[in-house]
Structure 1
Amino acid sequence: MTESQVKTFTAQIYMAGDINQAKMICRKYCYDVGLCVTVEPIDFIYTGGEEAGFRVGLINYPRFPSEPSDILSRAIDLARTLRDELSQHSFSVVTPTETIWDTRRDSTR
């Protein structure tokens, strides 16, 4: 039996859109770059409405340890891929220390 430990680091992608399409995009992305993620349904409830979406999770997996900066970089790259392929405007990436919001929306709207 083998046991490994690494410093914990997580990155969570939050985005609206079809979870089944998101899973297909994640599947291809993970296959192409060598990655494992979780994909969970999530509902966004906001003033005046609600929207279905998903959360994609990345962790520092002890079998294939990575630097936090590499995990964050990969999460942002995957989030941009999902945003573009799902025709979304924005996403958030949440880590233990920061939240990044990325949007294609014009700031004047």
Structure 2
Amino acid sequence: MTRVKVPTYQVTVFIAGDLALAKAACQKFCDERGECVTVEPTDYIYTRGREAGVRIGFINYGRFPRRRKVIFAQAEMLARWLLLALDQQSVSIVATYRTVWLSLRDQEPTT
């Protein structure tokens, strides 16, 4: 048995959209880039609304360890891909120490 210890790092992409379309888009992305992700259904509940979506997970996998910035870059690339594939307006990429929100909307977010 082989035991490999790597630094823990997780990135999750949050986006609304159809689960089947998300899985198909993730499969194509992974096939083309030699990537591996998890895909989980989720529901977004917000003021006066709700919609279905997905959570896409990346980890620092012990068999193929990578640096944090490489994992985050792959997650952001997939997030941009999913914006188009799922016909959405925004996506969040959440890691341990930072979150990036990408939006195709014209207005800026309020803080």
TM-score normalised over the length of structure 2? 0.95
Structure 1 stretches of at least 4 aligned residues deviating more than 6 Å after TM superposition: none
- What is the CA distance between 1:5 and its match in structure 2? 1.0
2:6 is aligned with 1:14: no
- What is the CA distance between 1:108 and its match in structure 2? 6.3
- AA in 1 matched with 2:80: R
2:91 is aligned with 1:91: yes
Q: Which runs of 5 or more residues in structure 1 are unaligned?
A: none
Deviations 1:61-95 (A, max 9, x none): 01000000000000000010011111110000000
- The CA RMSD measured in Å over matched residues stands at 1.2
Task: Note closer, same or farther for the CA distance 1:96–1:108 as it changes in structure 2 (3 Å cut).
Answer: closer
Structure 2 residue matching 1:2: 3-state secondary structure: coil
Q: Which runs of 5 or more residues in structure 2 are unaligned?
A: none
* Aligned residues between the structures: 109
Q: How does 1:7-86 map to 2 (within 5 A)?
A: 7-86=7-86
TM-score normalised over the length of structure 1? 0.97
Partners in 2 of 1:50 and 1:17 — Cα distance? 11
- AA in 1 matched with 2:18: D
